Amino acid sequence: MTENAWTRWPSREALSRQGTTTPRRLLAWVVRLMLLGILLWGAFHGSRVHGWVAVAGAVGVLVTGGLAWCFWRTTLQHRFWPSLAVVLLLLGLAVAAQAVGFREPALVVWCGCCIAVLERMPLAVALPVASVALASYAAVNDDVWLTTAATVGGMALAGYTLRLDAEARGNAQRLLAQERAARAAEAESAALAERARIAREIHDVLAHSLSAQLVHLEAARLLIERGAEREQILERVVAARGMARDGLDETRHALSALRGDLTPIEDFLTDLVRAADGAEVTVAGDRRALPAEASQAVRRVAQEALTNVRKHAPGAKVSVRLEYEPHEVVLDVRDSGGSPGELAQAGGGYGLLGMRERAELLGGSLEAGPDEEGFVVTLRVPV
C-alpha cells in the first residue's frame, strides 16, 4: 500500500526523545507523575479497597505502567501489530478497572490511550482507537454533556497537536543531521581540493627542476666515466647547482603563495623572464588585484610555458603578454620555435595536463599548440 498521510508513521526522530529540550523533558516527567498520582489515588482512596482488591489495584497500576512503556518502545520501532495489541490491552484493562469499581484510573487510561495513539500511530488506526477510547470515557463520565464534549474535543486536539509538534521536532532533527553531513562532506572536499592544489604546486615547482638536475648530473657521471676534461664535468655540475638554486627559489615562492603572500603578478612575470634570453613581457588593460587562485594559475602556467620553451626550443625568442579584460585575465606565451634541447626528455610529460587542469578548476580554459612560427600557450581565467 502506498504510504500517505493516513498510513504513514511519525518519524523515529519525532517519536524519540532526541532533540527534546530539558524544560520539555521536565514537563513530561511532571505530567507522568501527576497521572501516576491520579491512578494511585483513584485506586486506593476508597474504603472498599482492602485485602485482595488493594493487591489487584497495585498490580493493575504496575501492569499499566509496563504496557505504556511497551507501547512507547513498539511505536518507536514502527511495529504495527505489537503496538495495536498493547493499546488494546490498555483499553481492556481500563474496562476491567471500571467494572471492579476503579473509575478514576479507567478514565485516566482511556484519556491517555486517546492522546498516545493520536501522537504516535498512523492516523488510519489512531482515529478508530481514539474514538473507542473517547466513547468509553464519554459513556462513563457523569459530567454534563457540554463539559464531556469539551473534554473529549480537547483530548483529541491535544493528541493531534502533540503529533504535529513531534513531527516538527523530527523534521528539525533530520535537517540538522543533513546539514552536519553536508558540512562534513564539504570539509572533506575542501581537504581533498587542498591536497590536489599542494600536489600541483609540488609538480609545478619541483618536477622540472629536479628532472633537469638529474639530466645534468647523469651527464656529469658519464663524462667522469669517459675521462672527460675537468671543465666539461664542472660545467655540468655548475648547471645542476643552478637548477637546484632556481628550484629552491621557486619552492620559497610556492610556500609564500600557499600562505597567501603573493608579490604583484607583473613583477613576478618580469623576474621570471629576466633569466630567459630574448624574452619580453607586455601588460595590457586596467591592472587590478586578482584572486589568489587566479593569480597562482597565471604564475604557474607562465613558469610551465617558459620551462617548455627551454626544453623544446632553447634560444627561441619568447613573448609573454598579460591582458586584463573586464571579466577575465588572459596570459599569452609565444615562442619563435627552435630545435629541441638536451632537456627535452626531462620531466614526466604532465606539464600541459597540469596547466589545463588548473585552468578548468577555476572555470577557465587553456589552449596550447603550434602557430605559424613556433608554439603558443593561451590561458583564460575568469575573475
On whether residue 39 sits in a domain, the answer given is: yes
On whether residue 177 sits in a domain, the answer given is: no
Pick from 118, 142, 166: which residue ends a domain? Answer: 142
* pLDDT attached to residue 1: 39
pTM: 0.53
Pick from 142, 172, 196: which residue ends a domain? Answer: 142
On whether residue 110 sits in a domain, the answer given is: yes
On whether residue 22 sits in a domain, the answer given is: yes
CA distance 187 to 313: 44
CA distance 179 to 175: 6
The residue written with cell numbers 575568469 in the block is 382
Pick from 93, 116, 142: which residue ends a domain? Answer: 142
Domain extent, residue 381, equals 265-383
Q: What angle do CA 303, 244, 264 make, to 5 degrees?
A: 35
Residues linked to residue 335 through DSSP beta bridges, in sequence order: 318, 375
Nearest in space to 303 (alpha carbons), one of 200, 198, 184, 374: 200
Residues linked to residue 282 through DSSP beta bridges, in sequence order: 321
Q: What is the pLDDT along the chain (383 residues), one digit of tens a residue?
A: 345 778 899 988 888 877 667 777 777 677 767 766 765 665 556 545 555 666 777 788 789 889 999 999 999 999 999 999 999 999 999 998 888 877 878 888 898 899 899 999 999 999 999 999 999 989 888 888 888 899 899 889 988 998 998 888 888 888 888 999 999 999 888 888 777 777 766 676 677 677 778 888 888 888 898 888 888 888 888 888 887 887 777 777 666 666 665 678 888 888 777 766 657 889 998 888 888 788 888 888 888 888 788 777 777 888 899 999 989 999 999 988 766 544 444 444 446 777 788 788 888 999 988 887 788 999 999 98
Answer for the pair 23, 5: CB distance below 8 angstroms, yes or no. no
On whether residue 132 sits in a domain, the answer given is: yes
Answer for the pair 316, 286: CB distance below 8 angstroms, yes or no. no
**Residue 322 burial class via C-beta count within 10 angstroms: exposed 0-12, middle 13-18, buried 19 and up:** buried
On whether residue 287 sits in a domain, the answer given is: yes
Answer for the pair 141, 94: CB distance below 8 angstroms, yes or no. no
Answer for the pair 129, 103: CB distance below 8 angstroms, yes or no. no
> For residue 24, how many other CB atoms are within 10 A of its CB?
13
On whether residue 148 sits in a domain, the answer given is: no
Counted domains in the chain: 2
SS3 category, 368: strand
SS3 category, 156: helix
* pLDDT attached to residue 133: 92
Helix axes of 123-140 and 80-99: crossing angle, nearest 10 degrees: 0
* pLDDT attached to residue 71: 94
On whether residue 175 sits in a domain, the answer given is: no
Read off the CATH number of the domain in which 350 is found: 3.30.565.10
